[in-house]
Amino acid sequence: MKVGIPLEIAPNELRVAATPKTIKRLQKQGFDVRVQKGAGHKANISDEGFVEAGAQLVETAQEIYQGSDIVLKVKEPSLEEISLMKPGLVLLSYLWPAQNGHLMEALAKQQVNAVAMDSIPRISRAQKMDVLSSMANIAGYRSIIEASFYFGRFLNGQITAAGKVEPAKVLVIGAGVAGLAAIGAANALGAIVRAFDTRKEVAEQIASMGAAFLTVEIDEDGATSSGYSKEMSQEFIEAEMNLFLEQAKEVDIIVTTAQIPGREAPKLIMDYHVKAMRPGSVIVDLAASTGGNCELTKNGEVYTTENGVTIIGKLNQLPNQASQLYGNNLCHLLDDMGKAEKFAIDMEDAIISRAMVTYNGKINWPPAPLQVSPSAGGAEKKTAPNPDDIRRKEIEAAKKATMSTVIGLSVVGLLLLFVGKFAPPSFIQHFTVFVLAIFVGWQVINNVTHALHTPLMAVTNAISGIIVVGGLLQTKNDLSNTMTIIASIAILVASINIVGGFLVTHRMLNMFKK
């Protein structure tokens, strides 16, 4: 099978659907790859690089669309490009089917089987094909880099001979892939980072990236089964706006990432928020292409407001890196479709059926909802446990444990009484030392936080503690005594084990330090 990579004709599209590395991967999958001349120039990839990777260069887009079985593309095709496509062609590209109904009709009329890469469902198996996530990762990282450029000051705090420099304060709105990437980049540069999201489930993710999670005093969660946030109540939105106003007066950089597939981006930063910001502050709007989260954003532009706030409505795509990640996503999807040898369009597959927006001359959009959790009818209904029942069970368990302990101690006491009556005094003395050594060793290890040790280390250190105490009790002033020599060796070996355990623990703790 032949795979074609056309030149992107959109002037603002710098990416290409394949790189020399993904070309080699496509060949390993069994495909013959053809690339239009100049396809990678905007991404700093030369034609020679494609040829060295094993691709065949062709002159025109028509040769790509007519001579290929599968076409890999970035930007949605124009009507002119669609007219060049042969019937039965499989197209993998951004398509935005909810916004481009006319393109869906043209693709269906041309008998093109089109996969919208932006419509890959967000399920675990499809993560490796999720182009929205891979591109959002780049956008989030780049948002902080460009914000720091326009901000014109350090992001990290410093104490120098010339004086103290306060760290910059960054607010990230939306903790999806782009938001978390922005949090990570800002935190790595030393800024004080805060983040807001309507989904309370992301609080731990935000904290793990080094940011403070902001929320409003309203018990409402924006999480949905699709991975995107739902529309919130008016009361929540008003509280949200007040929170953003308070933060706008404090922070230096705001990064907004909120987008809703198939709809205009929600307005989160209003004109009065911008007016409240200090001169020199920066807003990076990652939703600029879909209307912007900031009311004053101009798509494709970077400008400064009258009160000195810079609003960034475009970012450098990092086309070389983005092309590599996008190409990997495409290769993963082709892997899933059977590679060249067993390539097939399985409309029963949860991923293909929802991303294949036109198939056999028909429009397959919108897709059927994806069931991500057990249906109400198929799952047993779980009721909240009764507090009285829980308390009753706890009391019964405590009584059983107490009874078991009493019985156990009674048995041990009787055994000790029996042993003490018939055993020689020397045995009782050694047995007493043994019991005390166990008790002291147990106390030594029990007072160390379990999180500092693996279970194996905890057990070995406990045993070593027992050996050390026992050895100390057996040593005498006579160095020629056999018992003293054996006890000293035991103490030495056990001490080595204990010291080694703590050294390993120290190294483990250092792994979590910057």
Active site residue 247: no
Active site residue 122: yes
Which residue do the tokens 């951004």 mark?
Answer: 94
Residue among 122, 226, 289, 321 flagged as catalytic: 122
Reported as half-sphere exposure (CB side, CA atoms, 13 A), residue 302 has a value of 15
Largest interatomic CA distance in the chain: 104
Distance CA 119, CA 132 (A): 9
Peptide bond into 366 cis (omega under 30): yes
Residue among 130, 197, 252, 285 flagged as catalytic: 130
Pairing of strands 158-160, 163-165: antiparallel
Active site residue 127: yes
Which residue do the tokens 């020397």 mark?
Answer: 426
Active site residue 130: yes
Spatial neighbors of 331 by CB under 8 A, at least 6 apart, are 22, 25, 26, 29
Q: 473: which 2 tokens?
A: 């009790």
Residue among 29, 133, 148, 474 flagged as catalytic: 133
Distance CA 263, CA 491 (A): 72
Strand ranges for 86-229 from DSSP E: 90-93, 113-116, 158-160, 163-165, 169-173, 192-196, 212-214
Length of the chain: 514
For the chain, the helix, strand and coil percentages under 3-state DSSP, each to the nearest 5 = 50, 10, 40
Pairing of strands 356-359, 113-116: antiparallel
Residue among 27, 69, 111, 228 flagged as catalytic: 228
Which residue do the tokens 């590209």 mark?
Answer: 93
Identity (one letter) of the amino acid at 328? N
Q: Where are the alpha helices (H) located in 201-350, listed in sequence order? A: 203-208, 234-250, 271-276, 319-336
Residue among 78, 127, 158, 233 flagged as catalytic: 127
Active site residue 359: no
SS3 track for 45-79: CCHHHHHHHCCEEECCHHHHHHHCCEEECCCCCCH
Q: Are 309 and 277 in contact (CB under 8 A)?
A: yes
Question: Active-site residues: which are they?
Answer: 122, 127, 130, 133, 228
